Amino acid sequence: MDTDRLDRLVLRRLAVAEGWSDDELARHVRGGDLTRLRRGAYLTGTGALTDEARHRLLVSATVAALRRPAVVSHQSAAVLHGLPLCGVRLDRVHVTRRPPASSEVDRCLRVHVARLADHEVVEVEVEGLAVTDPVRTALDLARSLPLEPAVVVLDAALHLGIVQQPLLADRAQELTGTRGSRVAARALDMADARSESVGESRSRVLLHRLGLAPSTLQRVIHSASGRELARVDFAWEEERVVGEFDGRVKYGRALRPGQDPGEAVFEEKRREDAIRDEDWGVVRWIWPELVPGTVVGDRVRRARARGRRRRV
């Protein structure tokens, strides 16, 4: 975490030790100089924070208030490791204590009780907090989250290279028989390091649910002369159909310094035309369509049907 963001955190016990009174703190809250983060913790400044940045501060404040040590885990550990979360609440800090201990839930804290090997605990720089390592974090979330957000985390951890598939599989075996292990196995079967974004991971889960799983990911399309034309998110190779998630986001990512967005859109149009010229059908979808019952399924089915007709 950036040190300037950590500097925004004000702990009451430290402020009182420096001579502040509770009346002064309350006055600064009323005046807008401080924002209450949780009991005994405040934020300075008015700059907006992302949900993840705010949660990192909440983790620091909450761990500092614990009477007994604990290891930051689950979604809180994912945030500290820089893993993306989708559809996961960040209103509570998740920690794990080794047995014997008691689980606990309050407004800002969720305490899990589980066995943790020494190699499953690491220290996060800057905050200096004990955190479950990326592999254990990914497995804990795979056991406790629904399929889609679990796959998002696993894909990202594999794609970023902070976990490796063989080690992930080995460590998953150690959790066989524990609560959620079967759910985790399903998510692990779907995890794929080739997924490059949250949207691609969510798309793949949706396509699997619709019975439309692509034959490959990150397919490179070549011209008849062998020149590389494009690399696409999804492909159904038998029907020569490719799928692309949220082209509008990609236009922004593809912008060169000083390039006009309209020019990027034009280049993307030329790219798509080049793909079609090689007798590939193209299907696109955007964020609001990543739910069952929307147009994605029908769109892909029609494109694949057209592809089969072209092959006859």
The pLDDT assigned to 249 comes to 47
User: 219 pairs with which residues across the strands?
Assistant: 232
Residues 43 and 54 reside in one and the same domain: no
Say if residue 264's pLDDT is above 90: no
Backbone angles phi, psi at 35, to 5 degrees: -120, 130
> In this structure, what CATH number is given to the domain that contains residue 292?
3.40.960
The pLDDT assigned to 259 comes to 55
Residues 53 and 186 reside in one and the same domain: yes
The pLDDT assigned to 8 comes to 86
Distance CA 283, CA 294 (A): 14
How far, rounded to the nearest angstrom, does the alpha carbon of residue 288 sit from its chain's CA centroid?
Answer: 18
The pLDDT assigned to 312 comes to 74
Confidence of residue 294 (pLDDT cuts 50, 70, 90): confident
pLDDT tens sequence across 189-203: 999 999 999 999 999
Say if residue 291's pLDDT is above 70: yes
What average pLDDT does this structure show over 142-157?
97
Residues 31 and 115 reside in one and the same domain: no
Residues 64 and 160 reside in one and the same domain: yes
Domain boundary among 161, 190, 219: 190
Residues 155 and 99 reside in one and the same domain: yes
What average pLDDT does this structure show over 224-229?
92
Residues 77 and 132 reside in one and the same domain: yes
Task: Spell out the residues 6+ positions from residue 164 whose beta carbon is closer than 8 angstroms to its own.
Answer: 158
C-beta neighbour count of 247 within 10 angstroms: 17
Provide the domain count of the chain: 3
Rounded to two decimals, what is the model's pTM? 0.88
Say if residue 1's pLDDT is above 60: no
Q: Under DSSP, is residue 7 helix (H, G, I), strand (E, B) or coil?
A: coil
Residues 104 and 177 reside in one and the same domain: yes
Residues 175 and 243 reside in one and the same domain: no
The pLDDT assigned to 260 comes to 62
Residues 85 and 41 reside in one and the same domain: no
Domain boundary among 190, 219, 253: 190
What average pLDDT does this structure show over 142-163?
97
- Helix H or strand E encompassing 152: helix 147-159
Residues 58 and 91 reside in one and the same domain: yes
| Residue ranges making up the domain that contains 120 | 49-190
C-beta neighbour count of 93 within 10 angstroms: 26
Say if residue 177's pLDDT is above 70: yes
Confidence of residue 207 (pLDDT cuts 50, 70, 90): very high
> What are the contacts of 103-107 at 24+ separation with CB within 8 A?
107/38
Taking each helix axis from N to C end, the angle separating 134-144 and 147-159, rounded to the nearest 10 degrees, works out to 160
Averaged confidence pLDDT in the chain: 90
Residues of the chain with pLDDT > 70, as a percent, come to 91
The pLDDT assigned to 261 comes to 57
Domain boundary among 190, 214, 235: 190
Least confident of 184-188, 268-272, 297-301: 268-272
Residues 295 and 217 reside in one and the same domain: yes
